[in-house]
Amino acid sequence: MTDAATQAAAAPAAPPPASASQQRYTAVAIALHWIIAFSILGLIAVGWTMETLQHGDLEARAQYQSIVQLHKSFGITVLLLSVARIAWRLMNPPPPEPAMPGWQAFAANAVHILFYVLMIVMPLSGWIMASASPAFETRYFGLVDIRLPVLPTLPMESREGIENAAGTVHEFLPWVILALFVLHVGAALKHQFVDRDGLLARMAPGLFGRTAGPPGAGRGATWAFGSAVVIFAAVVGASMLAASPTVAPAVAEEEQQPVLSKAPAWTVDPAKSSLAFKFGYMGTEYTGKFPEWTAQIQLDTDAAPNQQTPVDGYVRVAIPVAKISTGQEYFDGNVVQGDWFDVPKFPEAVFEVKGGVYKLSPTDYEATGVLHLKGVDHPVRLPFKLTLDGTTATMHGEVTLARMDLGIGKSTATAGEGDAEWVRNEVQVIVDVVATRQ
Ligand code: HEM
Ligand code: HEM
């Protein structure tokens, strides 16, 4: 034996790391612990940033809108993972605790149980708030509307009450989470670095030392994750069912014979004509337009003014709603969706003169007709001015419509008198037409 070999054999063996005697959590429990822990901290940070953005300038508010959607999507994911985690925990008991005084074991268990409760109640309060809220849909990563069932259909006052209550819970609980977090992390660090019992390695093996492996191979993954998937599918299904159309599409209207008129026809000059609207969003006014529309116009402009009898005329304006442009990309994306114009189901809006066009003075007219929107007819009176220059007519008309009466963004109503928190109820429609007589 060499001198070196003799020395090595005689030297006392280094004690194994404390963690080596500890068993670790199963891989699934460890993965879920860290994914959920970081997500919750991220969601709190994002939540508080959103608060600031919401009260900023337009750009900040537009950012708020997209971030809030992401916040909701990640938050719901945390909820589903937490369901899976709790189910997994029930089927896979944790490794036996390291030796510690009874009160510490009790405190640790209490914090863990409270954490599990918060992992459900925190995202659920957000989901309840968002589902009762009159703001935009909760689109899961931009894909499907997953508002909780029933809530969106309740009367506005109940929704408001539920939204406020859930909102209070959602604002308060992050502080509870953070307080528990300080206790939880403080305790974990104390075990690791003061007691040196290798506790951290149970939840972060590899990073904080070797462990003796989990107590079992882990079982029940299908049940744990399956239950989360089933809950999610049930909510998506209920949300989609609630959103199915309740009114017939515009077909019946199209089949009706247009009112015949012998009045001269007018050809619209699209370059000089426009169909615009002004709307208010969070106190600021914006102007949007429908860039594409076609009009069939027949009107006897030579008739004498008469308050009682309409002049010979017929007007039908067809508007492909999908082309709507608000000047703000964010609004354009939202306004075509379900609660708003619901373009996939109702691609076209039609204004048609039904009650006649009245000539009130040489230049003042009023068209009485119906606006066919989202499968429903609404009576509309459009006063307009019309001036003639040879065979060219220049027309300007304005009408203020209450969008919620038209079923546009209906769920954004927050007050009985029809005022809206986000988007003003009154929308001013401005029609400018330059047309040539045929
Ligand atoms: C918001 C963030 C966090 C939440 C909600 C959370 C939640 C939990 C829960 C519920 C358990 C109990 C597991 C069980 O036995 O069923 C647990 C265990 C554990 N957590 Fe966290 N945790 C968070 C962050 C952290 C952080 C940052 C650390 C690192 C310092 C950490 C270290 C541990 C350790 C070491 C255990 C195992 C304790 C034991 O062996 O009994 N956790 N955590
Ligand atoms: C564990 C998951 C979640 C955490 C930790 C979390 C955290 C937060 C925080 C800290 C805020 C700011 C609160 C304030 O001071 O005003 C917030 C706001 C918000 N959260 Fe969550 N959230 C979670 C899940 C969700 C979910 C699932 C939804 C909806 C589906 C949601 C919807 C909202 C909304 C709409 C706001 C903004 C409220 C407002 O504009 O006043 N959250 N969240």
Lowest mean pLDDT among 267-281, 308-322, 343-357, 401-415: 401-415
**What is the average pLDDT score of the chain?**
83
- Looking at the predicted structure, is the pLDDT value of residue 243 above 70? no
Pull the structure tokens for residue 17: 């790391």
Report domain extents, the chain: 18-242, 251-437
Distances in Å between the Cα of 339 and the Cα atoms of 61, 134, 152, 291, 304 are: 20, 10, 11, 22, 44
Distance 47 CA to ligand 2 centre (A): 5
d(CA 351, CA 366) in angstroms, rounded, equals 14
Q: Are 282 and 60 in contact (CB under 8 A)?
A: no
Neighbours of 165 (CB within 10 A): 14
d(CA 50, CA 216) in angstroms, rounded, equals 43
* DSSP letter (8 states) at residue 258: P
Question: What predicted TM-score, i.e. pTM, was given to this entire model?
Answer: 0.65
d(CA 331, CA 226) in angstroms, rounded, equals 37
| Cα angle 188, 194, 199; round to 5 | 40
Distance 71 CA to ligand 2 centre (A): 7
- Looking at the predicted structure, is the pLDDT value of residue 213 above 50? yes
Q: How confident is the model at residue 52 (pLDDT cuts 50, 70, 90)?
A: confident
- Looking at the predicted structure, is the pLDDT value of residue 43 above 90? yes
Quickly tell me which residue has 């459009």 as its tokens.
Answer: 382
- Annotate 95-123 with b (16+ C-beta within 10 A) or e (fewer): beebebeeebeeebeebeebbeebbebbb
Q: What is the mean pLDDT of residues 251-255?
A: 42
CATH number for 251-437: choose from 3.40.50.300, 3.40.50.720, 3.30.70.20, 2.40.128.110: 2.40.128.110
pLDDT at 397: 94
**Conformational region of residue 239, where left means phi above 0, alpha means psi within -120 to 50, and beta covers everything else:** alpha
List pLDDT tens digits, range 403-425: 877 777 765 444 444 445 567 77
Atom 31, ligand 2: residue with shortest CA distance: 126
Atom 14, ligand 2: residue with shortest CA distance: 171
Pull the structure tokens for residue 369: 């007709």
- Looking at the predicted structure, is the pLDDT value of residue 122 above 90? yes
Ligand 2 first shell, C-beta below 6 A: 40, 43-44, 47-48, 50-51, 54, 68, 71-72, 75-76, 78-79, 122-123, 126-127, 129-130, 138, 170-171, 174
List pLDDT tens digits, range 306-343: 877 888 888 989 888 877 888 777 777 677 776 777 77
Distance 67 CA to ligand 1 centre (A): 28
List pLDDT tens digits, range 172-204: 999 999 999 999 999 999 988 888 888 898 898
Distance 171 CA to ligand 2 centre (A): 7
